[in-house]
Structure 1
Amino acid sequence: MKRLSLAAAIAALAITTACATATPYQPASQSDRGFSEMKIEENRYQVEFSGNSLTDRKTVETYLLFRAAELTKQNGFDHFRVVRRDTDANSRLVPTGATYSPFYDNFYLRYRYFGPRASYFYDYARPLRYGSYDPFWDGPVDYREQTRYVASAEIVMGKGAKPDDVAYFDADQVIFNLAGQIQRPVP
Structure 2
Amino acid sequence: MKRLILSITCICLLQACASYSPYHPASNRGYGYSETQLSDTQYRIDFKAREIERGKAVNYAMLRAAELTLEKGFDWFEVVDRESDKKPPRISSGVGFGIAQHQSIGSRSSFGMGFEFGDRDRSEADVLLEIIMGKGVRPDVKQVYSANTLAKNLRKALAMPTSDL
When the two structures are superposed, what TM-score results if normalisation uses the length of structure 2? 0.69
Q: 1:69 matched to which residue of 2?
A: 66
Match of 1:180 in 2: 156
Q: Return 5+ residue gaps in structure 2 as ranges.
A: 97-117
Tell me the amino acid that sits aligned with residue 72 of structure 1: T
- In 2: Cα distance, 1:155 partner to 1:78 partner: 13
Letter in 1 for 2:151: I
State how 1:22-61 maps to structure 2 within 5 Å: 23-53=21-51, 55-61=52-58
- Aligned counterparts of 1:75 and 1:93: Cα–Cα separation in 2: 38
Q: Which residue does 2:143 correspond to in 1?
A: 167
2:134 alignment partner in structure 1: 158
Structure 1 residues 174 and 30: CA distance shift in structure 2, 3 A: same
Q: Distance in 2 between matches of 1:7 and 1:38?
A: 43
Q: Report if aligned partners of 1:23, 1:34 keep a CA contact under 8 Å in 2.
A: no
Asked if the contact 1:25–1:183 (Cα under 8 Å) also holds between the matched residues in 2, the reply is no
Residue 150 of structure 1 aligns with an amino acid whose one-letter code is D
Call closer, same or farther: CA 1:145–1:27 in 2, change over 3 Å. same
Deviation at 1:179, TM superposition (A): 2.4
Corresponding residue for residue 8 of structure 1:
8
Per the alignment, residue 84 of structure 2 pairs with 87
Cα deviation for residue 93 of structure 1 reads: 4.5
- How many residue pairs match? The answer is 140
Aligned Cα root-mean-square deviation (Å): 3.0
* Largest Rg, 1 or 2: 1
Question: How far did 1:22 drift?
Answer: 5.3
Q: Cα offset for 1:147?
A: 1.3
Instruction: Report runs of 4+ in structure 1 exceeding 6 Å deviation.
Output: none
Match of 1:122 in 2: none
CA contact (8 A) 2:47 2:127 kept: yes
- Structure 1 counterpart SS, 2:38: strand
Identity of aligned residues (%): 33
In structure 2, the residue matched to 1:124 is none
Give me the whole-angstrom Cα distance separating, in 1, the residues matched to 2:61 and 2:21. 13
Alignment partners' CA distance in 1, 2:30 and 2:6: 29
Alpha carbons of structure 1 residues 14 and 152: separation in structure 2 relative to 1, 3 Å: farther
Structure 1 alignment gaps of length 5 or more: 96-100, 103-139
